[in-house]
Structure 1
Amino acid sequence: MDNFEALLKEKGLTKTAFSDLLGIKKQNLNGLMKNPTLETIKRFATTLDVPMWQLFASSQEVQETKNTITCPHCGKPIELKVK
C-alpha cells in the first residue's frame, strides 16, 4: 500500500487517528498494513472514502492514456501492445 501514508496526510489523519476510526490499536494497524487481506484493503479504502486502487497509487501515477503503464523503477512510460 504505497500511497497509504500520503492519503492519511491528505485527509489530515495520523496513523493513531486512523486506527481510532477503525476501532483498533495502532500496533494492530501496523500489523494489518504489513500483510493486508482483501477485506482489510476494502475497510481501509471505505474508511478513507477512496477507491481501493488509490491505496497503492496516486491519481498522478495512474495515466489516462490507454495501453501504457509507468515503469516503477525508472518512471518512463511503457507501451503495451494488445493482441
Structure 2
Amino acid sequence: MKLNIGTGTSGTEPTEKLEIVECDIEKQGDIGPVIGNAFVVLCCIEASEKEIFDITGPYRINFKSTENLMKAGMKI
C-alpha cells in the first residue's frame, strides 16, 4: 500500500510504510505473530449488521476481540 506522505524536499514522494494484515482477532493466540514488531496497530472492526439475529456479535467483536487485540499489543 502506498501512502503519500512527504519524505523528501517536495513532500510528494510516495512512502511504503503501511502493511495491511488480516487476522481472526477472536483467537487471541493468533494475534501476536501477526502483529510482530509493529509500531502502530490500527483496529477498524465492528460487529456485522448482516448477522442481526446474532445477539452475541457486539460483545464478541466490539468488546472481546478488541480486548484480545489490545492485550496482544501490550505484549510487544
Give the TM-score of the pair, scaled to structure 2: 0.20
Give the TM-score of the pair, scaled to structure 1: 0.20
